[in-house]
C-alpha cells in the first residue's frame, strides 16, 4: 500500500466534527493535528461532490478477521488483518478472539502482546485485544463452540491472570454462575466487561452493569430481548444511559427498522459501531472455519454451515458508517460511533477527534462515503475506495 510520508500538511475538506460537518482545514505536523481551522460562515451543503469529507480514523473494537486473515492466527495473520482494515478507514482496532479453551486464549493473548510493538506501520494500530467468551450462556451461544463455554464460578482466577495484560474487553453473560464476581474482578483490573451472549432477565442484566459491566456485545444478537412480559438484556442496555451498546450495521444482524429505536433511545455518545467481521471478509471466498466451526457466505450473510446461525459479518466500519448515515443518522453521529465512542469506552483520549494535539489519524471520504485515503499518524495510505 503506497504511502505519502510528508511530515507537515494542510488537509482541506468538509470536516466531520463532534456535532456537525463544516468546511475547513486540518493542519498536520509531525504526526499530530496542529490546528483545525473552520471557514467563517461556510456551509458544507454547497461544497460539491469533489470536496471530500475528512473524518477521524475509525476504531473497531470487535473484529475477528479480515481479508483472509484470522485474529487468532500467527503474527503474519495479524499483519495482514491490520493492513486490510486500514484500507477501510480503520486506524485502530482490537483483534478479537472467539470462545476457545483457556489454553488457546492464553496463547492468543501472548501472540498479540508479542506483536503489539511489531505491528506494521502501514496497518491499523492495535490497542490491545478483545475476548468474546468463554464465559457466555450456552443457551445464547450463537456461533460459538459450546464445547469450550465455561462458568466463571468453576475457574480459578489464577488461570485468568495470564490473560489480563493487554485485555481491553471481555464478553460475559451476567446470569451464569460466578459472572457478577468475574465482572467485578475484571473492573478492578481495568478491563471493560461487555454484557452479551446472554439469556439474562432484566434484573440479572442490571446486576451485571451495576457490578462494572460497561458495554454490550452486538446489541439484540444472542441475547434476551424486548418482550413485554419478560424484558431481558437488550432492554437493560437500552434504558441504561451509562451503558455503551455495539451495533453491527450490516442489515442482517439487526433489521434496519430497529435502528431508530437504538438511536432514539441511546445517548449518541453511547453507540458503538463494530464489524464483528470474520476472515472471509474481503476475500471473495464462500467458506471458512471460525473457532473450529464451518461457516459459509450466502450472499453477504455469514452463517454456520450446521444450523444457519449468524456467524459474524463481512463488512468493515466504513460500510457500517455509510449504512447508518444512509438510514438518516447525522454523519457526525455515525462517525462518532465508529471513532470517538469506542475510544471513550477504552479510555483512549489521544485520537478520535478533529482537534489540536490529537494523533493525526484521518479518513478522507468521497461524496458516496467511500474511503479514498487514510492517514495513520500523519502518513497517507490508499483507501479501498480510491479511484
CB crowding 315-354: b at 16 or more within 10 Å, else e: bbbbbbbbbbbeeebbbbbbbbbbbbbbbbbbebeebbbb
Contact 341, 269 (CB under 8 A): yes
How big is the CA angle at 277 (ends 272 and 282), to the nearest 5 degrees? 130
Which residue matches cell numbers 478477521?
A: 65
Closest CA to 82 of 96, 61, 97, 66: 66
Sign of CA dihedral 66, 131, 317, 325: positive
Question: Could you list the active site residues?
Answer: 276
Q: What is the 3-state secondary structure (H, E, C) of 57-119?
A: CEEEEEECEECCEECCCCHHHHHHHHHHHHCCCEEEEEEEECCCCHHHHHHHHHHHHHHHCCC
Say how far apart CA 48 and CA 141 lie, in whole Å. 47
Say how far apart CA 25 and CA 41 lie, in whole Å. 14
How big is the CA angle at 83 (ends 80 and 85), to the nearest 5 degrees? 105
Amino acid at each position: 500500500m503506497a504511502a505519502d510520508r510528508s511530515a507537515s500538511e494542510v488537509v482541506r475538506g468538509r470536516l466531520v466534527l463532534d456535532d456537525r460537518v463544516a468546511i475547513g482545514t486540518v493542519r498536520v505536523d509531525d504526526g499530530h493535528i496542529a490546528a483545525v481551522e473552520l471557514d467563517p460562515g461556510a456551509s458544507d451543503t454547497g461544497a460539491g461532490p469533489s470536496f471530500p469529507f475528512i473524518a477521524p480514523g475509525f476504531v473497531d473494537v470487535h473484529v475477528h478477521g479480515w481479508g483472509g486473515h484470522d485474529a487468532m492466527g500467527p503474527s503474519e495473520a495479524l499483519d495482514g488483518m491490520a493492513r486490510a482494515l486500514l484500507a477501510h478507514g480503520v486506524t485502530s482496532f482490537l483483534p478479537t478472539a472467539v470462545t476457545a479453551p483457556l489454553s488457546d486464549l492464553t496463547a492468543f493473548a501472548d501472540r498479540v502482546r508479542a506483536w503489539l510493538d511489531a505491528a506494521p506501520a502501514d496497518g491499523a494500530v492495535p490497542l490491545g485485544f478483545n475476548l468474546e467468551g468463554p464465559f457466555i450462556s450456552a443457551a445464547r451461544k450463537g456461533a460459538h463452540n459450546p464445547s469450550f463455554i465455561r462458568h466463571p464460578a468453576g475457574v480459578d482466577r489464577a488461570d485468568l491472570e495470564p490473560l489480563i495484560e493487554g485485555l481491553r474487553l471481555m464478553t460475559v453473560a451476567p446470569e451464569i454462575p460466578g459472572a457478577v464476581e468475574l465482572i467485578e474482578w475484571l473492573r478492578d483490573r481495568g478491563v471493560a466487561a461487555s454484557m452479551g451472549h446472554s439469556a439474562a432477565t432484566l434484573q440479572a442484566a442490571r446486576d451485571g452493569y451495576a457490578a462494572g459491566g460497561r458495554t454490550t456485545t452486538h446489541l439484540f444478537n444472542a441475547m434476551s430481548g424486548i418482550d413485554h412480559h419478560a424484558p431481558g438484556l437488550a432492554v437493560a442496555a437500552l434504558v441504561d444511559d451509562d451503558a455503551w451498546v455495539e451495533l453491527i450495521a450490516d442489515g442482517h444482524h439487526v433489521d434496519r427498522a430497529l435502528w431508530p429505536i437504538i438511536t432514539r433511545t441511546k445517548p449518541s455518545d453511547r453507540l458503538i459501531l463494530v464489524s464483528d467481521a470474520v476472515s472471509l471478509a474481503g476475500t471473495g471466498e464462500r467458506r471458512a472455519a471460525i473457532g473450529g466451526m464451518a461457516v459459509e457466505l450466502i450472499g453477504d450473510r455469514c452463517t454456520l454451515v450446521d444450523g444457519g446461525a449468524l456467524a459474524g459479518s463481512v463488512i468493515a466500519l466504513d460500510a457500517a458508517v455509510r449504512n447508518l448515515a444512509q438510514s438518516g443518522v447525522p454523519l457526525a453521529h455515525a462517525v462518532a460511533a465508529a471513532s470517538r465512542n469506542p475510544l471513550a469506552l477504552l479510555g483512549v483520549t489521544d485520537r478520535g477527534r478533529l482537534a489540536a494535539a490529537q494523533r493525526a489519524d484521518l479518513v478522507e471520504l468521497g461524496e458516496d462515503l467511500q474511503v479514498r485515503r487514510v492517514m495513520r499518524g500523519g502518513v497517507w495510505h490508499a483507501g479501498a475506495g480510491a479511484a
